[in-house]
């Protein structure tokens, strides 16, 4: 079992109309020992990517480490004033270390540990795992609705009832299911249908709304496609985004990806964020298309993908986590400057 650590909380804000506004994160925190095993499904436990590679060097673990790096990198900018953030960004001046990671990373690690234990998503067990992780470290930046959801599940509530009761019975369409799921896509990359199925199942444990699930499926598929493209030329941005979009159900996330795919080469980050949204509404449709647009334009350059994503502002820890989790599934972290890696808060993998 991987070790358990506790880390510091970092502030979360979204930049709305150029003004920093404090908001809650949409999801969850820390890791604990796995719950009791569910009944056997008949499947053998899978390994990352169904390969024989050592798991510490697999696309799934690379994706997880990329996600954590993007999360920690992006979160630091939310504590800055608008003027300081813009000046640092223009000069490509990093924020001071340490870079603390947030609920995005904590929930991703719960999910990866779950896959390592069971090879697939067992929703009852995963929901309890998210709740236990939250209870172990609730100050990682969870949003108000996720505080309620994870506390209720931790107190014995049925996750189906808890999640479906939110927002007048619609459930949350936040970006929290998408922010944590890239490693799942890289883990199961050999089978895109299974990626989509398992990403949907993972989303439903906390996010009942169909658009939240679609956002998670989109990110997982993007990470799977990135992992599958290792060793070959990177696909062009429009082709990559359309391939993801065509595997999604009709809805706002799919429409956003199709719009992103039609943006001409040379589209500025500011324009892309203005059209697609960059997470300031904390919803999946407002987050996923832009984050995948940033990733798809820099599939061979993880640091550049993160910088590009940051330039959209908004919910920068989550957008950068999604972008980096996808790109790292292809590149790993070999091209990341060492001082970035040492600046990031220690992560228990």
Q: What are the pLDDT digits (tens) for 145-203?
A: 889 999 999 999 999 999 888 655 555 658 999 999 999 999 999 999 999 999 999 99
**CATH classification code of 59-343:** 1.10.4080.10
pLDDT at 170: 56
Structure tokens at 293: 């647009």
Q: Are 14 and 319 in contact (CB under 8 A)?
A: no
Lowest mean pLDDT among 17-21, 45-49, 106-110, 280-284: 17-21
Three-state DSSP class for residue 25: strand
102 known ligand binder: yes
Annotated binding residue 205: no
Summarised one tens digit per residue, pLDDT across range 75-102 is 999 999 999 999 999 999 999 999 999 9
| Residues above pLDDT 90, as percent of the chain | 76
Q: What pLDDT was estimated at residue 169?
A: 54
First to last CA, the chain: 10
Cα 116 from chain centroid?
A: 18
Q: Are 292 and 257 in contact (CB under 8 A)?
A: yes
- Residue 32 pLDDT greater than 90, yes or no: no
The mean-pLDDT minimum among 39-43, 139-143, 221-225 falls in 39-43
Average pLDDT over residues 34-62: 50
> What is the pLDDT, as a whole number, of residue 174?
85
**Residue 103 annotated in ligand binding:** yes
* pLDDT for 47 beyond 90: no
Residue of 198 and 12 predicted with greater confidence = 198
Q: pLDDT tens, 262-277?
A: 999 999 999 999 999 9
Q: According to the annotation, is 104 in a ligand binding site?
A: yes
Round to whole Å and give the CA distance between 154 and 156: 5
The least confident of 44-58, 110-124, 136-150, 334-348 is: 44-58
Q: Which pair of structure tokens corresponds to residue 184?
A: 């799942």
Q: What is the per-residue pLDDT across 272-321, written as a single tens digit (0 to 9) for each?
A: 999 999 999 989 999 999 999 999 999 999 999 999 999 999 999 999 99
Structure tokens at 191: 């089978």
């Amino acid at each position: 079992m991987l070790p358990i650590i506790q880390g510091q909380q970092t502030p979360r804000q979204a930049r709305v109309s150029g003004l920093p506004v404090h908001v809650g994160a949409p999801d969850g925190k820390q890791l604990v020992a796995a719950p009791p095993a569910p009944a056997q499904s008949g499947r053998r436990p899978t390994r990352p990517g169904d390969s024989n590679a050592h798991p510490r060097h697999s696309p799934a673990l690379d994706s997880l480490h990329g996600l954590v790096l993007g999360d920690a990198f992006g979160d630091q900018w939310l504590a800055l004033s608008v003027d300081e953030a813009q000046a640092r960004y223009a000069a490509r001046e990093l924020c001071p270390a340490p870079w603390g990671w947030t609920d995005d990373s904590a929930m991703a690690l719960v999910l990866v540990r779950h896959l390592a234990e069971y090879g697939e998503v067992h929703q009852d067990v995963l929901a309890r795992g998210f709740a236990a992780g939250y209870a172990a470290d609730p100050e990682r930046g969870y949003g108000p609705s996720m505080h309620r959801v994870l506390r209720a599940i931790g107190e014995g509530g049925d996750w189906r009832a808890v999640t479906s009761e939110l927002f007048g019975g619609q459930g949350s369409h936040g970006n929290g299911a998408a922010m944590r799921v890239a490693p799942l896509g890289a883990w199961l990359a050999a089978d895109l249908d299974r990626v989509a199925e398992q990403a949907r199942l993972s989303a439903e444990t906390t996010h009942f709304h169909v658009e939240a699930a679609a956002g998670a499926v989109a990110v997982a598929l993007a990470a799977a496609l990135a992992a599958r493209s290792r060793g070959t030329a990177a696909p062009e941005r429009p082709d990559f985004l359309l391939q993801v979009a065509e595997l999604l159900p009709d809805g706002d996330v799919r429409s956003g990806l199709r719009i992103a795919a039609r943006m001409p080469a040379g589209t500025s980050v500011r324009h892309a964020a203005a059209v697609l949204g960059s997470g300031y509404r904390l919803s999946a449709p407002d987050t996923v298309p832009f984050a995948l647009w940033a990733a798809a334009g820099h599939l061979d350059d993880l640091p550049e993908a993160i910088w590009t994503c940051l330039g959209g502002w908004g919910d920068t820890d989550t957008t950068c986590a999604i972008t980096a989790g996808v790109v790292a599934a292809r590149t790993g972290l070999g091209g990341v400057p060492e001082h970035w890696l040492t600046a990031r808060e220690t992560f228990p993998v």
